[in-house]
Amino acid sequence: MIVPRSASRADCSLICRHREEMFRSAGESEVDLAAMAEPYRTWQDAQLECGTYSGFVAEADGQPVGSVGLMEIDWPPHPLHPEISKRGYVLNLYVEPEWRGRGIARQLMTCAEDVFRARGLTYAVLNATGQGRPLYEQAGWTGTAQMGKALTLE
């Protein structure tokens, strides 16, 4: 039986490992992953401590098999949420490879959406990998017009 529980600061190493594996499976370079590891761990620990990052860990027989992160982000009122100046943000959804295909990711996403609803948030965003996109689309998530650009510092 898979049991989701709230993530805590004690889960920082697990969350960091899951995030790294998520990016690795999406094809990110080992050089970039190594460069990100320590700055992300520092950031993650601080966010868990102050509560701006929350989430869930899915466990099977007391062992973690997946996790997801949640944040509320300030965002100006928008046609998709005209009266609310925040959005939910889902990040770091990961399920261990041997546990995939059992509905764990779907269960974690349901937990995330329930938390956002309980907080009064009416819109949420995420960045989908190619592997995760079908799951999100089946759950009613749609693509947006958002774009990004890496900026160099001079």
Domain ranges of the chain: 2-138
Residues 84-111, mean pLDDT to the nearest whole number: 97
Taking only the tens place, the pLDDT of each residue in 28-53 is 999 999 999 999 999 999 999 999 99
**Rounded alpha-carbon distances, angstroms, from residue 110 to 26, 83, 135, 151:** 23, 24, 12, 35
85: confidence class by pLDDT, cuts 50, 70, 90: very high
How far apart are the C-alpha atoms of 24 and 19, rounded to whole Å? 9
The yes or no reply on domain 2-138 and CATH 3.40.630.30 is yes
pTM, to two decimals: 0.93
